[in-house]
Amino acid sequence: MSIQSKRKEKPFQQAVLAIALAASVLSVLYWGVVASDRYISESHVIIQSTSFDSGQTVDLASFLQGATPGNIFEQLLLRDYLLSTDLLKDLDAKLNLRAHYSDSHHDILSRMWDKDQKLERFHDYFLSRVNAEFDDYSGVLVIRAQAYDPETAHAITQFMVNAGEAFMNRLAQQLAQEQVAFLNQEIDKIKGDTTRTRQQLLDYQDKHNLLSPQAAAENINGIVNNLEAKLTDLQTQRAAMLGYLMPDSAKVTEINLQISAVEQQLNREKARLTSAAGKTLNRTLEEYQRLQMNADFAQDLYKGALVALEKGRYEASRTLKKMSVLQQPTYPEYPLEPRRTYNCVVYLLLILVTFGITQLIAAIIRDHKD
C-alpha cells in the first residue's frame, strides 16, 4: 500500500472515529442526564365469580392453582379492554393523560410530541407506557403503568383496576338482562298459547254441554253394565219358566216384553258410546282428551318458563365478576425507567460493534482496490 493511499485513509478513519465518539457521548449524555425519570405502578389481579353452583366447592389449593378455562377467557377479555381505546378515553378524561405525557418538561425522545395527536397515535404511545400481561401458569393478570411522576402512575393503575371490575360486572349483567328479556318474550308467547288452548277446551265443553266427557262415558258404561246384568237375569228367568209354562202363557209373554225393552235400551246406550256413523261419545271423548292434552302441555310449558324466568332473574341479581386484587397498585418511590446504566452499556456496545464493522468493511474495500 502506498503512502498516498494511507494518507487518504486517515481522514476517513478519523471521521468514523469522531462519529463513534460523538454518538457515545450523546448516548451517555442522554441516558445519564437528559432522559426523564419514569415511575412504574404495578398491580396483580384475578377474576372470580360471586356465584357458585350448588355442587361447587372452593378451597385454597384450587385458588392457588390458577385460573380455570372460563376465567382464562374472562381475564383475556379484561386484558383486551384494559388496552383498548375506550379505556384510554376514560383515562384521558379522568387524568388528562395527553397533557401529562406531552409535557415539555420531559425529554423530547420519551414524551409524546404533540398533545393534540390523533387517537390512533395517542393509543400507540399509551401502549408503550401501559401493559397488561396474563401469566398462564398462575392465572394472574399483571397490570403495569408508567408515568413521569409516582402519583400519576399509581392513579393510572388504580383507575384500570376499578374500570376493569366495572366492565366485567357490566358485561355479566348485560348478558343476564338479555337472557331475562328473552325469557319474558317467550313467556308472553307461551302464555298466549296456553290461553288459546284453554279457551278451545272451554268452547268444546260448551258446544257439547259436557263438563267432562270422561265422566259421561264412565256413567254410560255403568248403565250398559247394569242393563246387561238385568238382561242376563231376565233371560235366565224366561228359561226357567219355559220349563213348566207354555211359551204363550201370560208370564212368559210379560218377561219377553221386559227382555225386549231392556235390549232396546241397551242398544241405545251402546249407540251413544260407539257407532260407525254420527258424533258418538267415544269420538267426543277422544277429541276432548286431545284438547285437554294440548292445554295441559301448554300449562306445563308456562310453569317451566316462569320457573326459568325467576331463576334467570335470581342469577342476574347475583352473577357478578369480582376482580380480586392480589397486589394493590403500588405507589412507586423510585424511577425504574429508564435503566440508565444498562442503556448506556447497550448503546456503547452497539456503537462499538458498528464502528468495528465499518472499519472491517473499509479494510476489505482497501484490500480489493490494492
Give the domain ranges of the chain: 1-35+338-370, 184-316
Between these two residues, 144 and 18, which has the higher pLDDT value? 144
Q: SS3 for 93-153, per residue?
A: HHHCHHHHHCCCCCCCCCCCCCCCCCHHHHHHHHHHHEEEEEECCCCEEEEEEEECCHHHH
Q: Is the pLDDT of residue 210 over 90?
A: no
What is the per-residue pLDDT for 63? 44
What is the per-residue pLDDT for 322? 67
Cell 233371560 sits on residue: 235
**Average pLDDT value for residue range 330-359:** 85
- Beta-strand ranges (E) seen in 50-102 are none
Query: Sign of dihedral through CA atoms 253, 255, 261, 266?
Result: negative
Long-range contacts of 359-368 (CB under 8 A, 24+ apart): 359/13, 359/16, 362/9, 362/12, 362/13, 362/16, 366/1, 366/5, 366/9
Q: Is the pLDDT of residue 143 over 90?
A: yes
**Checking DSSP bridges between strand 140-147 and strand 130-135, what pairing results, if any?**
antiparallel
Rounded Cα distance between 225 and 235, Å, is: 15
Beta-bridge mates of residue 145: 41, 130
105-114, 153-162, 178-187, 254-263: least confident range: 178-187
What is the per-residue pLDDT for 50? 55
Q: Is the pLDDT of residue 231 over 70?
A: yes
**Average pLDDT value for residue range 355-363:** 80
Model confidence at 271, pLDDT cuts 50, 70, 90, reads: low
What is the per-residue pLDDT for 316? 61
Q: Is the pLDDT of residue 96 over 50?
A: yes
**Average pLDDT value for residue range 208-229:** 68
The letter for the amino acid at 296 is D
**Average pLDDT value for residue range 66-88:** 79
What is the per-residue pLDDT for 370? 56
Between these two residues, 96 and 364, which has the higher pLDDT value? 96
Between these two residues, 126 and 245, which has the higher pLDDT value? 126
Between these two residues, 19 and 99, which has the higher pLDDT value? 99
Between these two residues, 141 and 72, which has the higher pLDDT value? 141
What is the per-residue pLDDT for 187? 78
Mean pLDDT, all residues of the chain? 77
Rounded Cα distance between 341 and 146, Å, is: 19
Interior CA angle at 363 toward 359 and 369, to 5°? 145
Helices (H), 209-280: 213-241, 250-273
Q: Is the pLDDT of residue 278 over 50?
A: no
What is the per-residue pLDDT for 281? 56
Q: Please return the burial class of 37, using the count of CB atoms within 10 Å of its CB with bins 0-12, 13-18 and 19+.
A: middle
- CB burial of 283-315 (b: ≥16 within 10 Å; e: otherwise) equals ebbeebeebbebbeebeebbeebeeebeebbee
Backbone angles phi, psi at 284, to 5 degrees: -60, -45
Q: How many CB atoms lie within 10 A of CB 318?
A: 12
Model confidence at 87, pLDDT cuts 50, 70, 90, reads: very high
Between these two residues, 358 and 65, which has the higher pLDDT value? 358
Model confidence at 286, pLDDT cuts 50, 70, 90, reads: low
**Average pLDDT value for residue range 337-356:** 84
* Cβ-proximal residues to 313 (8 Å cutoff; 6+ apart), any chain: 180
pTM over 0.85: no
Rounded Cα distance between 261 and 55, Å, is: 72
Bond prior to 247 in cis (omega within 30° of 0): no
The letter for the amino acid at 247 is P
Q: Is the pLDDT of residue 66 over 50?
A: no
Do residues 303 and 191 make contact, with C-beta atoms less than 8 angstroms apart? no
Torsion of CA 10, 358, 108, 87, to 10 degrees: 180
Model confidence at 206, pLDDT cuts 50, 70, 90, reads: low
Q: Considering only CA atoms, which of 121, 147, 118 is closest in space to residue 39?
A: 147
What is the per-residue pLDDT for 23? 79
Largest CA distance in the chain: 170
Query: What is the total residue count of the chain?
Result: 370
Q: Considering only CA atoms, which of 104, 132, 146 is closest in space to residue 46?
A: 132
- CB burial of 213-235 (b: ≥16 within 10 Å; e: otherwise) equals beebbeeeeebbeebeeebeebe
What is the per-residue pLDDT for 33? 76
Q: What percent of the chain has pLDDT over 70?
A: 75
What is the per-residue pLDDT for 31? 79
What is the per-residue pLDDT for 369? 64
Interior CA angle at 315 toward 313 and 320, to 5°? 125
Q: Is the pLDDT of residue 342 over 70?
A: yes
List, for residues 25-63, the tens digit of each pLDDT value. Answer: 888 887 777 778 899 999 999 887 655 444 444 444 444
